[in-house]
Chain A
Amino acid sequence: MSINTPNKQTSHLKREILVRLIRAYLGENYEEDVRLIPYKMRPQGSEVPYRCCIHKERAILRDRVIAGLGFDIEEAEDSQLLSELATKATKREKPEEHPLTLLQTACNECVPARIHVTDLCQGCVARPCESACRFGAIKVQDGKSRIDHEKCKNCGLCAQVCPFQAITKIIVPCENACPVGAIAKDEDGLTKIDHEKCISCGKCVSACPFGAVHKKSQIIDIIKNIKAGKKVIAMIAPSIMGQLPCTPKQLKQAIIDIGFSDVVEVAVGADITTKNEAEEFKERVIEGKAPFMTTSCCAAYNELVAKHVPEIKQYRSTTETPAYYTAEMVKHDQPEAITVFFSPCVAKRREAMQNPNIDYVLNFEELGAWFVALNVQVSDCEESEYNQESSAEARNFAVTGGVAAAVNAMLDESEKAQPYVINGLDKASIRDLKKFAKNGKCELGNLIEVMACPGGCLGGSSTINSYKQATKQLNAYVESSPAIKDVVNTK
């Protein structure tokens, strides 16, 4: 759950579908049970909570199941049965390339973004809206302000100056949330994701009140490997500590209980990232006099650099991500193992796609659904020790400011970085990044930590726990962990 967002019915729905899907796949009649999911969720004569009729409810649930099966909703044929798609999902060799898909039947009801004058307009004498508009797009006619939409550029200045707050900006939540303009309505009024622009940050997933943006799940692929008796290893992101009502050691046992053969903390890789990034900072900024360096562990930021801000690439650290080092270690020691990265966000799926050492990605919501499906009571699990210890600083990578603080903990007094934290990517912070790159300087600090989600990974779009509670739980774990200098020097 993102920072400060209340519980949402859309998350409940999506999780319920995942639970039913997992139960179906682990049960006796997989294909038929998958086909029946929409009917089980909306049985004959049941209430119609959200849509016009039970048929539309079921049609939309069907589409949500398609995403759960890991397919593109837009590309699936309407006539295809869920049972056929369920079979197809088990035959797939690798997951689909783009992690997000749109449920258009659920989303076409949004009014296109525009400025709207409400009935509260008094047609006043001052008419600040008229004078504020730089495009001559608003005029009082017949006692009320009217907008010429041919001229209006949706800047919203008129709304800001109206003394009655009578003018409002109607937004399309996904478009408004997307920091890179990758999701928009086309001429037919249908929303589309432009995968050339999309950085997989997942902000549209959290923003859509209809739950129309779906993540394509890889859960069938993962369970398939476990069912086949393969050695499947969980690599759990630092942000997972604090996601479920149990201790970190109980969590390890719970993950083993559902079929994984081992659990490795990605914080182990974060220790290596920290060490390398600290060395790089010293070399480039302290000794080499580079104006600044940015971190490189947020997958959505890395996609942003590749697709939208290539000019900042020369300032980004060349250090690899914690997931990279962890996966490298696991595959080195056990080349036959299947690796699954447990993720708080969508963006890591893109990173995994580009890294041959990471086979699959499972997000925290999916893990939670898996526990529900199997009735695993995490707080009743035994405690199981992790084979490799990691540091407090590495485990704190999940929180905004944590990466820069870890790097600083590795540096000597005379080499300390001045961190500047981008706490959430949005249009404004992207403009800042472009400015830093263009001017070749950043007055605000010389180590820029970029986190696509406000609050860091704990604020990721696929998390379960509320931010405040998750932070509390994670802090307790961090405080009981050894200092990085003690851990890294002994590795």
Chain B
Amino acid sequence: MDTYQKVTATVKRLIEAFLLVMAVVVFNFFLIQMAPGDPVEVIVGEMGGASEELIAQMRAQYGLDRPVLEQLGVYVGKVLTGDLGYSYYFNTPVTQLLLQRLPATVLLVMSALVVAVVVGTLAGTFSARKPDGMGSHVVTVLSLVGYSAPVFWIGMMLLILFASIWPIFPVSGMYSMRRPDGIGYYLDILHHLVLPAVTLATIYIAFYSRLARTSMIEVLGQDYIRTARAKGLPEGKVVWKHGLRNGLIPIVTMVGLQFGQLFAGAVLVEAVFNWPGLGRLAYDSILRRDYTTLLGILLFSAILVMIANALTDIAYRWIDPRMRKVKA
């Protein structure tokens, strides 16, 4: 594969990604058009009522009186120039609003993902070493419970536990009222992060421990594991070096596929723990009929999922040399 082919392949992928994003934009636009109600109704409701003329004037101001296709054309045109519109509720540009909320969500989702993959893989591998042992059964039962329990229920249980019975973790928001300076500021955020991240991670810990267990049981039965033992390597190296790298392949596949679901889970968790991220914003925007913001969030998440998939591809190649192109 020469440089020319590499460039062509990359360009082709970028074009594909762009078209996909545009398709997502159009699809979401129509999806929201189909929902009943519009922002003006909400504003009017909050104002405590308004005259027909005022309502018509507001509809005209936001362009809501024009035909749907024209609205779509205007929106797509703006999106192409990087303008996601204006949130009527916050009176700020949506792009600015989203960029402000993005770090909190990325922090939450990535922490939950890392915790889920690391803890799940460790637990699964541990139980795969002795599939019939006591420890393995404990892991199996715990993951079954974790996998079956709904996210919001786990969130509420943790809330109850840590709000009243054993108040060692903050249960709401991302910062303390009085924000500490310097390193204390980051520690404070981490302290607030614990419960939402654990809640979001629980189901995935359970999922990845089951996946890792199955994958590692299969890998540990392979011929090359016997070869590694026959070399006189200590059991730790046999399992963690020769086994795990092969066992990780299906796990990485699932991480790529599940990133979108994790994002959806963040909406619930952010709502429960009042986490100031995109999920919470999405939830509020739905209630406020804040279409532009909602469309922006959907667009952002589509792009994030695509980035995650690209990263998965890279991770794949790094773990499994067979996925790399054969050197010419």
Say whether A and B bind each other.
no
Residues of A whose CB lies within 8 Å of any CB of B are none
